[in-house]
Amino acid sequence: MNIRGEKVSIRKLIREDVDKMQCWSMHEDPLYFHYDFPKLNHGQRDEWFKIKTKKFRKKCFAIENDKSEVVGYICIRNIRWIKRESELGIVLDAKHMNQGYGTEAILLFLDYYFNKLKMKSILLRTAKYNKRAIRCYTRCGFIAIKESLDEFEDQYAEIFYNPLYNHLKGMFTITDEIRKTDYIHMIVKKDEFYKKINHVPTKLFVSAK
What are the tens digits of pLDDT across the range 133-183? 999 999 999 999 999 999 999 999 999 999 999 999 999 999 999 999 999
CATH architecture, range 2-199: 3-Layer(aba) Sandwich (3.40)
Tens of pLDDT, residue by residue over 14-48, are: 999 999 999 999 999 999 999 999 999 999 999 99
Q: Domain spans of the chain? A: 2-199
φ, ψ for residue 204 (rounded to 5)? -75, -15
CA-to-CA distance for 25 and 37, rounded, in angstroms? 8
What is the value of pTM for the model shown?
Answer: 0.90
Helices and strands, counts by H and E, the chain: 5, 9
Burial of 137 (0-12, 13-18, 19+ CB in 10 A): buried
Question: What's the distance, CA 183 to chain centroid?
Answer: 15
Q: Give tens-digit pLDDT for 56-106.
A: 899 999 999 999 999 999 999 999 999 999 999 999 999 999 999 999 999
Q: Which of 68, 67, 51 is nearest to 59 (CA)?
A: 51
Of the pLDDT bands very low, low, confident and very high (cuts 50, 70, 90), residue 202 is very low
Kindly give, in sequence order, each residue whose CB lies less than 8 Å from that of residue 71, ignoring residues fewer than 6 positions away: 8, 63, 64, 65, 92, 93, 96, 101
Count of Cβ atoms closer than 10 Å to residue 113 Cβ: 24
Cβ proximity of 186 and 139 under 8 Å = no
Selection from 68, 67, 66, 73 nearest residue 93 by Cα = 73
